[in-house]
Structure 1
Amino acid sequence: MHSYPLEDGSLIVEGRLKDDQLTPGYRWDGERRPAGTVHEICVRILVGEWPLRILDAEAEMEQIPHELCPTTQESVRKIIGMTIAAGFSNEVRRRLGGIRGCAHMTFLVMAMGPAAIHGFWTMKSKTRRPLPKSLEEFSGLSMLMNSCSLWRKDGPMLRYIKEKLRR
């Protein structure tokens, strides 16, 4: 994953999935399959605003196992307008999963949600902001809360923030 900040405050997030098979084998129809790259997919999303919203999306299928795979490429546009927040992965699955798209692209987009948030906060952290006076003023805290073990409601990160706010 890579993120590229733009001057207007938006961010391009690029995700790549590469699936290499290290040994040759046989396909279901008995045809020999050489070792090498089976899938190489790139998805780019343009995100902006807060809460983070997907403003545009595109996909490239650089290496594919079947000639019809590119017919699913445009399905990535179904995520335009989505907010990257709690429930993001479920909504991506609903829009792109199963017969609505490509399984590999769906899982790549799901992994791009956290990368977009990290890229956005990295971009915003280049400017020093005043320390919030309360948890309510802590921008983006709701995105972090209960997102992992460290950020659980009674976890070490929230204790650290509360201690800093008391000072």
Structure 2
Amino acid sequence: MGLIEQRKGEKLHTRNIEISSYICDDETIVVEGKLLDNRLVTWHSISGEKHPPDIVHQMVIRLIFDISSLTIKDIEAEMPNTPREECHEITRSLDKIKGLKIAPGFTSRIKKTFGGTKGCVHLSTLLLTMCPAAIQGQWVYLARKPMTGFSSDLLEQYLLDTCHVWRRDGQLAKDVQRAMT
């Protein structure tokens, strides 16, 4: 038995993130992300008030993006469960990313735009988790038919050097580049 298994006790909290991509039309995909934080034990607020186990965060973001350019066309957020009513004030702040392209530098732009008091760490976390999933959704949409003329832009911007397998000097990158010529 490993060290972590030996130390496991009562489960306190779970965070689940689910992201799904849907065809909207021939030009756009909808990506829906859901974040759910569950407190699994009785807990006390700062004031000392006792609370039963409950859902502390339940958030949903939907974004529509252009399949060919990965440009965000529209975005909406819902917060069915939050710890404070003031949390709802920030949902419209996501409108600032309409028109942005999911491309290198996107993560730093999101952190700069929504970091600290300008946003919500939970919505930002969900959004940043959704973006790689949006690229996967685009890939699956395009791969529904045999791919011809694999885009070198797609390879360069979204795949090369993103992980060990897609490293520029790795076998997969070489195979794809060879197939493109």
Q: Same fold (TM over 0.5)?
A: yes
CA distance in 2, matches of 1:92, 1:165: 33
Letter in 2 for 1:109: L
1:52 aligns to what?
A: 70
Structure number with the bigger relative contact order (C-alpha 8 A, sep ≥ 6) is 1
2:121 aligns to what?
A: 103
1:146 aligns to what?
A: 161
Letter in 2 for 1:76: L
Number of matched residues?
Answer: 162
Give the deviation of 1:128 after TM superposition: 2.1
Q: Deviations over 1:113-152 (max 9, x none)?
A: 10111101111112223255xxxx5351011111111111
- Structure 2, gaps ≥5 residues long: 1-18
Letter in 2 for 1:140: L
CA RMSD across the alignment:
1.6
Matched, 1:157 2:172: yes
CA distance in 1, matches of 2:114, 2:61: 13
131 and 52 in structure 1: CA distance in 2 versus 1, 3 angstrom threshold: closer
CA distance in 2, matches of 1:58, 1:162: 38
Is the contact between residue 64 and residue 74 of structure 2 (CA under 8 Å) also seen in structure 1? Answer: yes
CA distance in 1, matches of 2:170, 2:26: 35
Is the contact between residue 43 and residue 59 of structure 1 (CA under 8 Å) also seen in structure 2? Answer: yes
1:79 aligns to what?
A: 97
Tell me the TM-score normalized by structure 1.
Answer: 0.89
CA distance in 2, matches of 1:165, 1:86: 22
Matched, 1:3 2:21: yes
Aligned identity (percent) is: 33
SS at match of 2:31: strand
Is the contact between residue 20 and residue 38 of structure 1 (CA under 8 Å) also seen in structure 2? Answer: yes
CA distance in 1, matches of 2:149, 2:66: 23
- Structure 1, gaps ≥5 residues long: none
2:111 aligns to what?
A: 93
